[in-house]
Structure 1
């Protein structure tokens, strides 16, 4: 796989620093996701934090900007581990609630995340494989973003926020298109691949079949 992307040399200190940073980011976002799950908060924040999109976005960035695929796998697992630990520790200790099904769902996501991160690291490389890998998180964002038209918002008057939610997904997609490829020309190849894959996912309701609505619960 070295012909696709060459690993960057890094010291032990750099590796530890990057893993600790990933854990800190995960802890902060995990706490933030729980704090915005409050009736007094604007539901747009909870609808972002309670879906796959934002976590796919952050994990993709952590992966592609790692020194090696192995480090990407460790960083992303550390990120999800700290995020979920803080999130559900807060839920159990302060809200006195144990969401078993949600913990199982997101726990499984954390378990498979190192494999996804290892593969995602090659997105910032050369060749068709890199283009396909680069398209995968964009595909997930496009698919889930499209399904937001059916998003459930508790108060009917908040349905006007759906276009804003879609706009946030569009921004995440644009960011990945602009900074993931090694050069801008690759974006012209990645976007059509993502569009085709997302059309297939939407047509066959892949997210709904796999997750069954669980990605709205964090």
Structure 2
């Protein structure tokens, strides 16, 4: 069996074909979403935490400075794409829009461009198409799909794990995001069990190792 046939057996590409203009529109919408969320993420950092409105923006800032929301949105963008290549392009443009807006806004506010952080996040953004291509198959059925699904879910659970002894909104959001993805990516009880089997060791490895600290430490 060829590699293409093997991948198609995991998850078939959408039978509906899109025109070049429709594909371009989807990519532009992903970029626009990244621009919007990048603006919200930076703007929320500038609002004083005074009063109800300040508390709301403070909560938004806490959420957007963590990985959870970006994992959730990128995964949803990927799995809703018609094929893995489009998923990779859309997720990359999403993160490009987010990073450009966030750091250009920072430069406009503080007249200083944080080159170190931009480069580090830029490298992560460059790797996002590979992750999106893989995650696209999580919407399929079988063991490989279950493994693909367990990675973003496991990352979210690992990020939100402190919720079980520190009740903070940002951790609650990560756990709720993990539950949402678990429900979306579990079409039946059998697939649910497969995902869960992979999920446990992934969370254990992420919690007991320094992988996330190595990749995102200081960011």
Give TM-score scaled by structure 1 length.
Answer: 0.86
- Match status 1:26 vs 2:31: no
2:12 to 6, 25, 41: 6
Cα deviation, 1:107-147, whole Å, max 9, x if unaligned, reads 01110001110111000112111000000001111111125
Shift of 1:38: 2.2
Structure 1: segments with no counterpart, 5+ residues: 151-159
Which of residues 35, 38, 44 in structure 1 aligns to 2:46?
A: 38
User: In 1, are the aligned partners of 2:161 and 2:175 still within 8 Å (CA)?
Assistant: no
Aligned position for 2:213: 208
Higher RCO, Cα 8 Å, sep 6+: 1
Contact 1:139–1:194 (CA<8 Å) still a contact in 2?
yes
Q: Report the counterpart of residue 100 of structure 1 in structure 2.
A: 115
Mapping for residues 1-218 of structure 1, pairs under 5 Å = 1-8=7-14, 9-12=16-19, 13-38=21-46, 40=48, 41-42=54-55, 43-147=58-162, 162-183=167-188, 185-214=190-219
| Helix, strand or coil at the partner of 1:3 | helix
SS of structure 1 residue aligned to 2:104: helix
- TM-superposed deviation, 1:148: 6.6
Alignment RMSD (CA, Å): 2.0
CA contact (8 A) 2:142 2:191 kept: no
CA contact (8 A) 2:104 2:113 kept: no
Q: Pick which of 187-196 and 198-207 moved more.
A: 187-196
19 and 11 in structure 1: CA distance in 2 versus 1, 3 angstrom threshold: same
Structure-2 change in CA distance of 1:171 and 1:148 (3 Å): closer
The question of whether the paired residues in 2 share the 8 Å contact of 1:123 and 1:181 is answered with no
Structure 1 residue 185: Cα displacement: 4.1
Q: For this pair of structures, how many residues does the alignment match? A: 204
In 1, the alpha carbon distance for the partners of 2:101 and 2:143 equals: 38
Whether the 8 Å contact between 2:27 and 2:89 is mirrored in structure 1 is: yes
Note the residue ranges of structure 2 that are not aligned, 5 or more in a row: 1-6, 49-53
Deviation at 1:168, TM superposition (A): 1.1
Q: Note if contact 1:30-1:84 (Cα within 8 Å) is conserved in structure 2.
A: yes
